[in-house]
Amino acid sequence: MDGDDGYFGESVAATYDRTESDMFAPDVVDTTAGFLADLAGGGRALELGIGTGRIALPLARRGVEVQGIDLSRAMAARLREKPGGDAIGVTIGDFARTRVDGTFSVAYLVFNTIMNLTTQEEQVACFRNAAAHLEPGGCFVVEVMTPELRRLPPGQNVVPYHVSPTRWAFDLYDVATQATSSNYIEVVDGRGEYRTIPFRYVWPSELDLMARLAGLRLRERWEGWTREPFTSESPRHVSVWEKPAGSP
C-alpha cells in the first residue's frame, strides 16, 4: 500500500501509462470508448476507478461528459495534467461508497478493477453505488477476467507465471474466500524486494446476483468490446446491466 493512494501511489502512477499491456493499444482503447459512448447515448458517464484517464479521455473526446471516482490522488493528478483532463471531474474516494452529484446514463468499471475490492460485501456495495448513480434505463458496465481456477491443480494454492534469476511472480489463491493476490519478488544487488497486491476473483453469475441485489438486470454479456460471444473458454467478459425504466 502507498498511503491514502492505495496500491496506485506515486511510483505506480508515474509509469502506469507505459505499462506493456494490450489494454493500452490505441485500437483497444478506441473500441472501448466507442462501446461506452454508444451506451451513453448523449448522456453523462461515470467511471469508477478512473485512474489516469486511459478510457475517460478518449470517451470525453467523443463528446461524452465524463466524471470519475478514484482513491488515488497520484493517478488523478496524471489525468488532470493531460490535454482535456481539466474537463473531467474526479472525486477522491472509494468507489464502493463515494457519491457524485447528478445521475448518469452509464457507469463503468473496467480493467479488472472490480477485483480490487477484496470482499464480497464491498463488491455488492459497489453495485449498489453504481446503480444509485444511474438514471432509469441507464447501464452499469464491468470488464473483468474470468477466474483462472483451471490453472490451479487440486491441493495447490499458487500459480507461478514468471521465474528468472532476478524476478519471481506468482498468484496465490484461497478458493474458500475467493481471495487472491499477485506477488512479485525483485532481486536487486542480491537483495529481494517483495510486493503483494490483494484481489477478490468473482464469477459472472455472482456478478449477476450482485446486480440483482442492486436492482439491475443483465442486458448483454460479451467476451470483449467488439461483442464477440461469451463462451466457457472466454478469458474475460464485458457485462452490461440495466436499471429498469420506472426504477426509483
Distance CA 193, CA 18 (A): 22
Q: Are 231 and 223 in contact (CB under 8 A)?
A: yes
Helix (H, G, I), strand (E, B) or coil at 39: helix
Which H or E run includes 105?
strand 104-109
10: Cβ contacts below 8 Å, ≥ 6 apart: 2, 74
**Residue nearer to ligand SAM on the CB measure, 117 or 216:** 117
**Residue nearer to ligand SAM on the CB measure, 70 or 242:** 70
What is the four-CA torsion angle of 119, 206, 116, 73, rounded to 10 degrees?
Answer: -100
Q: Using CB under 6 A, which of 36, 64, 75, 90 touches ligand SAM? A: 75
67 touches ligand SAM by CB under 6 A? no
Pick the stretch among 91-99, 191-199, 228-236, 237-245 that binds ligand SAM (CB under 6 A): 91-99
Q: Measured from the CB of residue 238, what is the shortest distance to ligand SAM in angstroms? A: 13
71 touches ligand SAM by CB under 6 A? yes
Q: Measured from the CB of residue 136, what is the shortest distance to ligand SAM in angstroms? A: 25
Residue type, 109: L
Cα distances from 16 to residues 27, 86, 171, 215, 221, in angstroms, run 18, 19, 20, 35, 28
69 touches ligand SAM by CB under 6 A? yes
142 touches ligand SAM by CB under 6 A? no
**Residue nearer to ligand SAM on the CB measure, 8 or 222:** 8
Q: Applying CB under 6 A, which residues contact ligand SAM? A: 6, 8, 49-51, 54-55, 69-72, 75, 94-96, 110-111, 113, 116-117
